[in-house]
Structure 1
Amino acid sequence: MTRVLLADDQALVRGALGALLELEGDLEVVAQVGRGDEVVDAARASGAEVCLLDIQMPGLDGLQATAAVRRELPGVRVLVVTTFDRPGYLRQALEAGASGFIVKDAPAEQLAEAVRRVAAGLRVVDPALAEASLLGGPNPLTDREREVLRLARDGDSVARIAQQVHLSPGTVRNHLSSAIGKTGTENRVEAARVATDNGWI
């Protein structure tokens, strides 16, 4: 019996995934949480062997939670299950230590098989995403460029971004300009959109 933890901020999705997995005779859902910062404690308390993590969650996102699980509980495997089929997210998830990455609209039997494979120490990756990730290449943005683009995406002014990241407005403008160039866009709003669509931020 493989012990599974589910982490998704949408209770309906959590419940549906749990119900599907409970139909499998060899899988047992031992914990469910709605926040990324609850994953490690819940996995430790429940003895989970595989954590199914959504990407967008409060507290910690699924990528940060993946890294935390791998750091704190190295014997526990992580399978990222998301609605966001972005190649950049796949790359980030694998870099964070995830053993698998599939999208939520995968058939139920494919999800169950992915859990089994990950539990067995194998890697599971959505084939179409894997191809797109290889073709798309690595994330071209630096950590600072990603940071200022995230804030720009939320509509913050250059002055406000500068305050938040403890840089001068001129330095923030330089990072934004570089990100705009790397994304081949005209302005920071477009750059943030392209970076988001590619899963770079």
Structure 2
Amino acid sequence: MSDSIRLVIADDQALVRGALAALLELEGDLVVVGAAADGEEAVRLVRELTPDVCLMDIQMPGTDGIDATGRIRQASPATRVLIVTTFARPGYLRQALDAGASGFVVKDTPAEQLADAVRRVHAGQRVLDPVLAEESLFTGANPLSDRERQVLRLAADGRSAAAIASEVFLSAGTVRNHLSSAIGKTGASNRAQAVRIAQDRGWI
């Protein structure tokens, strides 16, 4: 059909890619023209196929969905990006919108609502999960600096300040200062709690 909406689906789980494709193609006006297992492949497929909409997961190996969204919007401005993710975190919503995504929904969205979200995004509208959008208003923007996010991510697996310092080419004292600042900004009482809060809010 000439008026079909052409889709690329990016998700690192083959089962999810297949299920999304099967559900959406039942709609009649939606056609899946490509599927990618990571962000890098999604960017390549969008460049090659110039679909109308790319359905993008966030957490994928290599290039994640946020980075891929920004690159897709540059490579193919006519392609809209709809984030479809398990990770309903306010920080991810803000990052996705900043990267140029037109919509953000969670994976347990009913099939007919997902299809409607695709159509609305294709029509130039913005589609946001209402609960997440409201939560995002109250959570606020990510208060962490790039360096604080970096050291918190490395602290997540229990590394010492000295181990983190050797990886990011800073002194152990500077790393401790960044960790201390991140603990203060997240309202946590220790680094493990700061990591957990930052992860829950999608800040790291």
Tell me what 1:197 maps to: 200
Task: Write out per-residue CA displacement over residues 54-101 of structure 1, whole angstroms, 9 at most, x where no aligned residue.
Answer: 111011111111111112222211000001111111111101110000
Amino acid at match of 1:65: A
Please, which runs of 5 or more residues in structure 1 have no aligned partner?
none
Q: Is structure 2 residue 30 aligned with structure 1 residue 27?
A: yes
Alignment of 1:1-201 (within 5 A): 1-201=4-204
Q: Is the 8 A contact 2:10 2:38 kept in 1?
A: yes
Aligned-pair identity in percent equals: 67
**What is the CA distance between 1:163 and its match in structure 2?**
2.1
Secondary structure at the residue paired with 1:28? strand
Measure the CA separation in 2 of the matches of 1:183 and 1:85.
19
Q: TM-score of the superposition, structure 1-length normalised? A: 0.97
Q: TM-score, normalised by structure 2?
A: 0.95
Q: What number of residue pairs does the alignment pair up?
A: 201
Partner Cα distance (2:149, 2:76) in 1? 28
Query: How far off is 1:182 after superposition?
Result: 1.0
Partner secondary structure for residue 138 of structure 1: coil
SS of alignment partner, residue 48 of structure 1? coil
Instruction: Show CA shifts across 1:143-174 (max 9, x none).
Output: 11111111111332212211222211111111
Unaligned runs of 5+ in 2: none
Contact 2:24–2:31 under 8 Å retained in 1: yes
